[in-house]
């Protein structure tokens, strides 16, 4: 079976001591959850183009500088043979006010949450390989080392977070299934 790869982008947008999150609920989700804004990269679409589009659709903000790549999350192939790669960017400049214009109708709202509240909200993400690095990067101070990364500008080393889709054997156990790997 040929392996298929799904590309996803997400944005870590900080405003002082606040982090932008979207409140979302898919058709199969038991309850809504908070997450970084982002979504699927369309065929032939550049990563930064998808990032700008997804942030605009989910939050109403217009990204004027996509910043730098913070980390990449790899979800190992599922039973269907699909692998997912998520590219998370530190958005450094934007304009506008938050408002939802999500064509998929998955986003219930978008807002800047105080850092502690955002980190607590991200702890409830159902995907360990997205939850762990999201919380870690929110906790990091801008411009300082993050999860083994170098911090700094666009050429900073990228953190690669590798893990399996789903739980570590016990549903909702909270233990991560991934591990950070520093890539230069």
Domain ranges of the chain: 4-183
Work out the percent of the chain whose per-residue pLDDT is above 90: 34
CATH number for the segment(s) 4-183: 3.90.79.10
Instruction: Work out the number of other CB atoms within 10 angstroms of the CB of residue 119.
Output: 16
**What are the residues whose beta carbons fall under 8 Å from the beta carbon of 119, sequence distance 6 or more?**
19, 135, 138, 139
Low-confidence ranges of the chain (pLDDT < 50): 143-158, 160-184
pTM over 0.85: no
The tokens for 161 are: 């977070």
The pLDDT of residue 56:
94
């Amino acid at each position: 079976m040929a392996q298929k790869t799904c590309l996803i982008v997400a944005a870590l947008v900080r405003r002082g001591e606040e982090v932008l999150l979207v409140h979302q609920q898919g058709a199969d989700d038991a309850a809504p959850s908070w997450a970084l804004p982002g979504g699927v990269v369309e065929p032939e679409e550049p990563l930064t183009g998808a990032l700008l589009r997804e942030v605009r659709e989910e939050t109403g903000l217009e990204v004027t500088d996509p910043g730098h790549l913070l980390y990449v999350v790899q979800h190992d192939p599922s039973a269907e043979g699909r692998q997912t790669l998520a590219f998370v960017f530190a958005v450094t400049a934007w304009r506008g006010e938050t408002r939802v214009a999500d064509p998929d109708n998955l986003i219930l709202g978008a807002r800047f949450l105080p850092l502690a509240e955002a980190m607590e909200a991200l702890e409830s993400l159902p995907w360990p390989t997205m939850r762990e690095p999201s919380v870690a990067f929110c906790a990091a101070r801008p411009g300082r080392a993050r999860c083994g990364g170098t911090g700094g500008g666009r050429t900073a080393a990228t953190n690669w977070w590798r893990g399996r889709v789903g739980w570590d054997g016990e549903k909702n156990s909270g233990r991560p299934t991934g591990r950070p790997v520093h890539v230069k």
